């Protein structure tokens, strides 16, 4: 987001963040495209000129607000949930960690809400290159953070060394979000997980020769 929290020179109580927060509040879980500058001005106490001062135009405000919405959604992921992968001592423990994360993602009510909101932001980004670029930057950071856990597992000899950690995280993320498209028409979560978990674990498994070598040690 190009706008920063420096107060407007003539409206010291109005910042870019306060305007964005007002836009997000008004949009709720719905599209920001439904929020008008007039609505934001009334909610935030800003002037119309201050909105244009920070964001240039309505598209700039929407792009900045979508970026902030996606950032907030990303921040809901508690990094302590990664501890299971970081502390895993065996390949089986690491695979169990991945399976547990997938179960949580598709069964936890809060995770479901986050997935749906992320999907809404992603859909909006398809038609707005500015929003897309900003969302992609946040998503890339997420992939790197989780990819580091996979890479650390590779370093400890727990994960297949031949896979790209970032590519795996991008695929896993897409699979989890893809469940959002199908969960209302195919509600058998256990049957879905029976397919998804083996698919998620297969690329991570150590090659057979490596497993046999470790067993002999």
Q: Is 50 exposed, middle or buried (0-12, 13-18, 19+ CB in 10 A)?
A: buried
Residue 5, in any domain of the structure: no
Do 120 and 190 lie in one domain? The reply is: yes
98 φ/ψ sector (left φ>0, alpha ψ -120 to 50, else beta) = alpha
Instruction: Tell whether 53 and 139 lie within a shared domain.
Output: no
Confidence of residue 1 (pLDDT cuts 50, 70, 90): very low
Kindly state whether residues 23 and 91 are assigned to the same domain: no
Q: 102 and 53, same structural domain?
A: no
pLDDT digits (tens, 9 = 90+) for 50-90: 888 888 888 888 878 877 877 776 666 555 677 888 899 99
Q: Both 137 and 197 in a single domain?
A: yes
In a domain, 38, yes or no: yes
Q: Are residues 91 and 39 in the same domain?
A: no
Same domain, 137 and 178: yes
- Give residue-wise pLDDT tens across range 162-213: 999 999 999 998 898 888 888 888 889 999 999 999 999 999 999 974 554 4
Q: Within this chain, do residues 108 and 194 fall inside the same structural domain, yes or no?
A: yes
The per-residue pLDDT for range 35-44, each reduced to its tens digit, is 888 989 888 8
Q: Which domain holds residue 33?
A: 16-69
Residue 4 lies in a domain: no
In this structure, the answer to whether residues 55 and 95 fall within a common structural domain is no
Domain count within the chain: 2
- Examine the domain organization and report whether 129 and 174 are in the same domain: yes
User: b or e along 73-89 (b: 16 or more beta carbons within 10 Å of the residue's beta carbon)?
Assistant: bbeeeeeeebebbeebe
Model's pTM, two decimal places? 0.65
- At what angle are helices 58-75 and 37-44 packed, to 10 degrees? 60
Residue 12 pLDDT greater than 50, yes or no:
no
Q: Is residue 210 part of a domain?
A: yes
d(CA 144, CA 56) in angstroms, rounded, equals 32
């Amino acid at each position: 987001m190009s706008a920063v929290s420096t107060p407007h020179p003539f409206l010291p109580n109005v910042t870019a963040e306060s305007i964005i927060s007002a836009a997000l509040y008004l949009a709720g879980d719905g599209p920001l495209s439904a929020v008008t500058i007039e609505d934001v001005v009334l909610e935030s106490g800003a002037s119309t000129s201050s909105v244009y001062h920070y964001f240039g135009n309505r598209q700039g405000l929407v792009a900045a607000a979508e970026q902030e919405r996606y950032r907030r959604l990303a921040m809901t992921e508690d990094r302590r949930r990664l501890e299971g992968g970081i502390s895993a001592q065996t390949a089986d423990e690491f695979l169990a960690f991945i399976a547990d994360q997938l179960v949580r993602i598709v069964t936890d009510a809060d995770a479901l809400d986050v997935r749906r909101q992320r999907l809404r932001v992603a859909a909006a980004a398809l038609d707005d290159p500015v929003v897309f670029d900003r969302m992609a930057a946040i998503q890339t950071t997420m992939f790197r953070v989780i990819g580091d856990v996979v890479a650390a597992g590779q370093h400890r000899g727990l994960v297949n060394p031949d896979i790209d950690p970032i590519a795996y995280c991008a695929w896993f993320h897409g699979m989890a979000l893809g469940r959002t498209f199908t969960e209302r028409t195919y509600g058998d979560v256990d049957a879905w997980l029976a397919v998804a978990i083996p698919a998620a674990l297969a690329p991570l498994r150590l090659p057979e020769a490596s497993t046999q070598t470790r067993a002999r040690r």
